[in-house]
Every structure is written in C-alpha cells, then in structure tokens.
Structure 1
Amino acid sequence: MSIGSAPARFLATVLLVLGPAAPAAAVPAVPPPEAASVLGHAGRWLTDDQGRVVTVHGVNLVYKYPPYYPAAGGFAEADARFLAENGFNAVRLGFAWNAVEPLPGVYDDGYVEQILQTQQLLARYGIHSLVDSHQDAYNTSVGASWSGFPEWATYADGLPVEPNPGFPLVYFTSPAQNRTWDNFWRDHAAPDGIGVQEHYAAMWAHVAQRFAGRPYVLGYDLINEPWPGSEYPTCFPDGCPRFETDVLAPFEGMVMNAVRAVDHDHLLFYEPSLTNDFGTPDWMPNPTGDPKAGLSFHDYCPGRTDTCLTNGLDRAALDGTVGVVTEFGATTDAARLTALTDRYDDHMASWMFWSEPQNQTPQHPQQPPTGPNLMNPAVVRPYPRAVAGTPQQWQYDTATAAFTLRYAVVRADSGAPFAPGAVTEVFLPPAAYPDGYRVDSRGAEVVSQAGAPVLRLTALPGRDTVELTVTPR
C-alpha cells in the first residue's frame, strides 16, 4: 500500500520526532471519451490524440494478497462499470515484482496476462490504466505487510527486523528494513550474480512489452514510494537532494531506458522519495529528460499546511513534465476529502484516490478491491475530463452543486485554434444533480442530450474563451 494507511497522528508524531478471457462488454452508462485512447502531455497538461487537455480522476487498484492480481480479489466487469458511472477515467493498476519474477530471470507470463486482462477490461469503459510496480516496505521478511518485492532480492545482512511497529512506521525503526534498501541502492548482486537493479529494469521491460501499443494505457509508474534506507534522517526537513539526484534518478533512468527499448509511446512516470509524501521538498529531476515523462507524487501531508501538492506540481513544471497526484486520501473523513479535492481543482490537477478499505496494515486487512471499496462518494464531483482548449479555471461548490469552468479556445501544445466542432466533455455526477441540471454557456453550444452524465459542448465561431456554469435543476 501507500504511506497513507497510517493515521495522521502517527505521521505527525514521526515528523516531530525526526524533524481467464474477459466477457463481452456491456454498454457503459457513461460513454467513453470521443478520443483520448493514447495520452501524451503538453507541459503541465495531459493531452489526448485530438490535442485536448485531459484531466484524470482515478482510483488505485492494487491487490496485495497472493496471487497479487485484482481479478483474484473479485474485481470484475461490474466494478469497471461502477467506476465509469462515478466519473473515474483512470486507475493506477498495481502489480508485484515478486509475482512477475518469482526467481531471478524467470518470469511468470500468466501473471502478467492477468494484469493485462484487467487493463483491457478497464479500457472498454474508457478508463486509462497507469501500470504501477507497487511495494510497501519491500517484503514481509523485513517488516512489510505484503511482499511486493521478491525474497531473492532482499538482503538485510542478518540485521534484525525488530523493532517493528508495523507498516509504515517500520521504515523508521527496523535495521533490516533500512539495510535492505541500502543494498538495493548499492545494486547488490542477486543469486545469479546480476545486480538487483538490473533485474528490476529487465523485469519492467518484460512487463511493458505486453502493454506497448495498447490503447487506454496512461503510462508506467516505475516504482511506488522508494525509501532512502538508512539515509532517511537526512531528508527531514529539507528533502533528499543527494539521494534523489545521485541515487534515485540514475536508478529510475535505467528503468526508463529499459522500458523505452520496448515501448516508445506511453508516458513514463517517475517518483520521488517516500519522504515527499510528508511534505519535504522534491528534488527529483526527470531522470533521462524523456519528453514523454511525468512526475507521479503522493499527498499525505499531515496537518493543515499541505505542501505536497505544490511541491509536486512545481517540481514537474521545473522539468517541463506533467505532474499527477497518484495517491491521496486513505481516510473516510468526508470533510478532509472535500477539502483536498477542492484544492486540486484550484490547481487544475489530475489525481488518483487511495481508498481507506484498501489499506493493509497489521491492524487493517485490505478489503476486496471491488468498485465501492475503491472510492468514496466524497471524491465524486464534476470535472472537465477533456477540454478542446486550455483550462484557465474550474471550481465545484459542494454545498450548492454549482460547477464553473473557463477555458481559452486554443491548443495547449501550440496555441493554435482547434478545428470547428472540437468537443469539450464535462462529467456531471447524477448523484449531484438528481433532478437534472441547468447550463449557462457563454461562447459554446451544448451538443449533448439534456441531463446526460457527460455534458458536451463546442465553441462558437469567433470566440476566444468559453465560460460554463452548471447548477441543479
């Protein structure tokens, strides 16, 4: 899982102390986008194959019990439909290195096929998959709640696991946990004499070649929440500049190069150190300068001051990449979730939610990864899922269900105008508008049916800006 499984009070305390073949698809209630099967980016914006700006509202889908794939936990077609009907157009689809490569250099292609089948199921509903190599505290033998990384790549040099308060605090306490990460960053030789980092990069290439060329693959999230190992005390409060630039970036760069050898098109998302989840500054550069790259970062900042979002977006902007909040939440506090999603709207950010039932800690076993367990009604809200222009602002008032959007009618990639008839799509949750909605559109014509869950509009000739307001009927 993510660090978000820890109660906020534990995180705050730590910071203070440390300073089979799929069936035929049904017709989805929410139609897929008219384009967007392959995404790229124009600076800070995700873009589709029409050049429209795409915003993703997504969820995390990671099954942490053997055999480590979502269908084994119960995820099926009804769940993909449920996600689409609630406006989710992206899933961070996790897999376990432990299951892909059970022995050094030996790959389980049947396992990879299971992950691929889930991606294809999601694609039928217009849902993009960010394929994610997921781990949390490495392996159960060094204090993790599950084994994302394999035992054969775990080298603790005989150090004790204890003291082990359980995930995620084991990161801060266990000698075995931290020595294992140290040895990973030193590229310790696996039993076959090949370094564990080389194995990891080759594993990623093996996985990526199965997804290359497929539609509705958002890209690849190269490693979940990498931990600095015994160097972690130096990362508070000012971040990990040496680790991220001298250790983590070269490692993720090697993985990016391995993936690029088999997939030239899909986006590559690199992650900063796990300490960034707590709000430390982000020093992680684009490891290779790849123009089709993005920054995947998480927002579990404790307390009222949330620097996680701006740290991530600012870092992505510095490197000219797109930044996506690929984890946040891990709580059922509706007020907290509303405040976070309001903040993401203020920054016009894409995000992927981590649902509290998917936490897995010694005190909280993961619930089945089925539709309702992957989301929370508090994060279901209107948003512009595809804009034939460049967004300038959008906002949703949960008290009144009023939604506003303003955008310039020019392409984000070039500043050129869109061709006449280019369609902007806005998801409007039926739960927010049970009796329908009213539309006030300035500069555009509505071309969807009254009350449709996806509002479609096209800019009027000669208009530079579109302003949209939606209110309940």
Structure 2
Amino acid sequence: MRRVQRFLRILPLTASFPLLACGSTDEPAALPDAPRCEIALPAPPDERLAPDGTVLRDALGRIVFLRGVNAGGRSKFAPFVPFDFASTEAGFQESLDRYLDRAAAWGVSALRVPFVWAAVEPTPGTDDEIFLARYDALLDGAWKRRIWTIVDFHQDIYSDVYCGDGFPGWTLPFPTPEPHHDCPDWFVRYSQDEDVKAAFDKFWTDEHGARTAFRALWERIAARHATRPGVLGYEPINEPHQGTADLKTWEQTVLTPFYTEMAALLRAKDPTALVFFDATGTDAIGASTYLDKPEGEGLVFAPHWYDSIALFGGTPAPSNAATYLSKWADKGREWNMPVLIGESGVPRHLETAGEYVTAVYDAMDDNALHFTYWEYSDSKETWNAEDLSLIDDEGQEATAITSVVARPYPRAVAGEAPSFRYDAAARRFALAYDAPTENGVTEIIVPERNYPAGYRVELSNGCVDATHPGVLLVRPSAGATRVELSVHPR
C-alpha cells in the first residue's frame, strides 16, 4: 500500500505514464493501441475473498477492489426489502430483477445488504421464513450478476419503537411505543432520548438477555449463509452506540472485545467468512476512533464517513473527502487490514452532488479503499424522510450521482502494486501494476453507459478482450514485468 501512495504522489510529474492527476486537462502520453484477443472470463475455484495485509485477494491470488451500494434505506421497515413490489411471488421477483439489473448496469461489484433483527425474529423464538426467503433471493440474485454481498445487521437508534430500526421491541424489558419511521431528526435521539441510551446500556450488559439472543440470531444467520455463493461475510452491527458510557472507555473496553467475540462466533459457523466491523456514527463524522484492533481472522475494518455539512443541507468542500478518507486508510495501514467504507453519501437534491461524489470516489481510488455508497432504494415511501437514495420516489435516477457511481475501476488485478485513476470529465481511465510471473487475467469494470459510442484501449504490452458486457479483460505479454493501460472514449 505504501508503494501505491508513493507512486500516486509522483504521478503528476511522470511524463511517460498515461495516468492523469485528478482534474487534469493535459493529454496523457500515448501508448500503443491494444491488440484484441479472446480471453475467457476468469472463474476462481472459490468466490470468497481473503485479507492479505491491507488488500483483499480472490482465490486466483488477484487483488480485488469492491465498489458497490447499500441496499438500502427502504429495508429498514416492513416489508423490509429495498424496493416496492406487487404482493405476489411473481411481483416480488419482477421487482427484484429490475432492482438488481439496474445495480449491475452501474458496474457495482458489491452490495451491502441490511437486515433488521425485527424482520428476522418478530417474536422471540420464531423466525419469519417469508422475510428470510426474500433476503436469500436478493443475495442469490446479486451473485447471478457477479455482485458479492455483505450481510449487515442494521440498526439506528436501536429500534423502530424509537423511530429507528434494528432490534425488535421484545428485547426491551419495559413498555414501548408503536413502531414508526417519520422522524427527520432521528439521529438527535442518540444524545437526547434517555430510553434509547438505556436500551443500549441494557444490551451491552446483557441485563435482560438481549445480547444472548443476539448471539443466537447471528449463529443462525451465519449457518444459513455459510455455503451461499457470493456472500463475502457479515457485519455484526451497524454504527453501534455506547448508551450512557464514556465513548473512549466504552470503545476500548466493550466494543473492541465485542468484535473479537463476534469474529470468533461467526468464523466458527463460517470459517472463510470476512467479518466487517464498524465504528460508531460519531466516529463517522471525524474519521477517527478509539477502537483498538480486535483479535481474530478475516477482519475488515468497515467504518463510515459522512460530511456533516452536506447532511445538514450545506455545500461541502470536495477536498474534505481526500482529507478524511485518508485518515481511515491510515487506520487500515496501522492495523494491517483492508478498509471498506461501508457508507458515505449526500442528499440527492444537493446542487453540487455530482462534484462532491466525484471527489469521494477519487479519494477512494487514491487510497485503495473499498466502498459501498449509501444508498439504493426504489420506493415511493422513505425512511424518516431521507433523500439519500440513488433513485427518487418516482423511480428515476439521480443522474448527477449515478453517473459518478457508474465509473471504471479494476474489479480484480492479476499483479501487484496496482494504482488507478479516472478522469470523469474526459472519461479517461488508467491503470498500472506490476505483472505477475504467470500471465494472469485482470478484470476492469467499464460501464457501457459511460461509453455510448464505445471506447478504445491503449496498452504497454499484452492484449485485451472487450466482448464481455461491461468488463474489459487484460492479459499481459509473456515475460512482461509491468502493465500500463488507459481507456478512452471513441
């Protein structure tokens, strides 16, 4: 990773390489047009990924980059799926296919798929098999489109009885109000609602058995998906909260051991699963945490980052993305583990949304971070009046943002020390990496919508196959030690 950073720092000064500094208008140095050849789409013997220091590798040893979306805010309330559908099995399948086809057209390689405990186990001891079957169908449908999935237990302010989502009301030992999701200021309840804080206090101490039931829930979830193709792993809890405890003390003495405990539990049920662990919602604003590194195998740090100016209707500085996301990348290097930014996004009505989200993606690329954008729902009804979805309530794309989400990136690199850049204005993508000793195949996602008239490829050596929809395959020449390529619109 440090080699990548050094390379990016000297990149604008390197006249012989075709990459551009972000926002540059200079023409890149030309490489030869790439010869075309026939390359089979690689088929790893196992679809799972494994951490190798700060990178993720597939079963072919290639370095993988995850670029995806969250599926989505609409999953937080009944019927707990990220899209509207007609109330028949055929209606559900039709809406599911439409939902996933659109995500696939953006070129995403990953879906972070929220579920709420209240949907799985609405009454203690009885799981809702209708919901679970729908959730299974979403996971399976994603992998049919070569989209990996992350199973995410999602909560906000503990439960829908407090105008949030997550834990079922029966985990609370005291009377609760009716569930609802009509609170645009829901997040203030973390600090202002004593009942919310008390609920978390009782969960962490397991005073009334909620944490014991939570462990049993995750044992069932992990066992259910242990052999499901395309499932990368599990995120034990979204944006955990400390209740009334001191944040620093709680993160170090409660939350860190909790993640160690959950990693052991999940890997016992699913030994090759990744375990994605999140920081708190407060940590997401400043991109800093008091967490210590948990113990365990297969760990991926999965914090969030939101620009508070954007969330409250202001105009954020695009440069903030580079500043804050590099801090999370530094934490990954400190802990020597991969980092997935599980959430970042802006209200779709923001006038500068396209410029801002472009800066976010540029920072993800420059820091070699994995990313799932928040969020993608296709529904007329929203959760707590949020407008963060890539789709509006009429089913139309927020094109200023989706045109950024649908951008080229390397899905899997058969080589070492990869670095890449995308000039959104010129629609030019460039990638460089050290070639392997054997001629492995690199996959580059090239969304067709970005290149309606097609594209051409320049390559330092080797050949390419652009016949697979949305994917460019690259194979270096025998004996090559370095690969440099660029993609240009026709």
Shorter-normalised TM range: 0.7 to 0.9
* Distance (Å, rounded) in 2 between the aligned partners of 1:408 and 1:60: 32
Tell me, yes or no, if structure 1 residue 244 matches structure 2 residue 251.
yes
Tell me, yes or no, if structure 1 residue 59 matches structure 2 residue 69.
yes
1:189-200 maps to which residues of 2 (within 5 A)?
A: 189=208, 195-200=209-214
For residue 431 of structure 1, give the secondary structure of its aligned residue in structure 2. Answer: helix
Do the aligned partners of residues 349 and 150 (structure 1) sit closer, same or farther apart at CA in structure 2, a change above 3 Å counting? Answer: same
* Distance (Å, rounded) in 2 between the aligned partners of 1:89 and 1:371: 22
Q: Which string of whole-angstrom CA distances, capped at 9 and with x for unpartnered residues, describes residues 67-115 of structure 1?
A: 3134665641122222112201110111111122223333334422221
1:395-414 maps to which residues of 2 (within 5 A)?
A: 395-410=421-436
Aligned to 2:141: 121
Tell me, yes or no, if structure 1 residue 266 matches structure 2 residue 270.
no
Aligned to 2:23: none
Task: For 1:228, give the aligned amino acid.
Answer: Q
State the Cα distance separating 1:128 from its structure 2 match: 0.5
Q: Which of 244, 267, 281 in structure 2 is aligned with 1:230? A: 244
Using structure 2 for the length normalisation, give the TM-score. Answer: 0.78
* Distance (Å, rounded) in 2 between the aligned partners of 1:33 and 1:127: 15
The answer to whether the 8 Å contact 2:201/2:242 transfers is yes
The answer to whether the 8 Å contact 1:300/1:308 transfers is no
* Distance (Å, rounded) in 1 between the aligned partners of 2:131 and 2:376: 26
Q: How many residues align?
A: 416
Tell me, yes or no, if structure 1 residue 300 matches structure 2 residue 319.
no
* 367-376 vs 67-76, which moves further: 367-376
Aligned to 1:184: 203
Do the aligned partners of residues 205 and 369 (structure 1) sit closer, same or farther apart at CA in structure 2, a change above 3 Å counting? Answer: farther
The answer to whether the 8 Å contact 1:40/1:48 transfers is yes
* Distance (Å, rounded) in 2 between the aligned partners of 1:373 and 1:434: 19
Q: Which string of whole-angstrom CA distances, capped at 9 and with x for unpartnered residues, describes residues 216-247 of structure 1?
A: 1121111111112223xx5xxxxx43222211
Tell me, yes or no, if structure 1 residue 363 matches structure 2 residue 364.
no
* Distance (Å, rounded) in 2 between the aligned partners of 1:369 and 1:151: 32
* Distance (Å, rounded) in 2 between the aligned partners of 1:180 and 1:131: 24
Q: Which string of whole-angstrom CA distances, capped at 9 and with x for unpartnered residues, describes residues 328-352 of structure 1?
A: 1132211111111111111122110
* Distance (Å, rounded) in 2 between the aligned partners of 1:149 and 1:32: 42
For residue 254 of structure 1, give the secondary structure of its aligned residue in structure 2. Answer: helix
For residue 269 of structure 2, give the secondary structure of its aligned residue in structure 1. Answer: coil
Tell me, yes or no, if structure 1 residue 439 matches structure 2 residue 460.
no
The answer to whether the 8 Å contact 1:32/1:126 transfers is no
Q: Which of 385, 389, 412 in structure 1 is aligned with 2:411? A: 385
The answer to whether the 8 Å contact 1:94/1:131 transfers is yes
% identical aligned pairs: 30
Tell me, yes or no, if structure 1 residue 108 matches structure 2 residue 128.
yes
For residue 425 of structure 2, give the secondary structure of its aligned residue in structure 1. Answer: coil
Tell me, yes or no, if structure 1 residue 469 matches structure 2 residue 489.
no
The answer to whether the 8 Å contact 1:213/1:265 transfers is no
State the Cα distance separating 1:155 from its structure 2 match: 5.0
* Distance (Å, rounded) in 1 between the aligned partners of 2:84 and 2:477: 49
State the Cα distance separating 1:392 from its structure 2 match: 3.0
1:137-286 maps to which residues of 2 (within 5 A)?
A: 137-144=157-164, 147-154=165-172, 166-189=185-208, 195-231=209-245, 240-286=247-293
* Distance (Å, rounded) in 2 between the aligned partners of 1:165 and 1:376: 24
Structure possessing the higher relative contact order (Cα contacts under 8 Å, 6 or more residues apart) = 2
* Distance (Å, rounded) in 1 between the aligned partners of 2:114 and 2:79: 13
Using structure 1 for the length normalisation, give the TM-score. Answer: 0.80
Aligned to 1:317: 333
* Distance (Å, rounded) in 1 between the aligned partners of 2:418 and 2:299: 23
Unaligned 5+ residue runs, structure 1?
1-30, 190-194, 235-239, 411-416
Aligned to 1:99: 119
For residue 422 of structure 2, give the secondary structure of its aligned residue in structure 1. Answer: strand
* Distance (Å, rounded) in 2 between the aligned partners of 1:337 and 1:56: 17
Tell me, yes or no, if structure 1 residue 426 matches structure 2 residue 444.
yes
Unaligned 5+ residue runs, structure 2?
1-39, 86-91, 309-315
Aligned CA RMSD, in angstroms, stands at 2.9
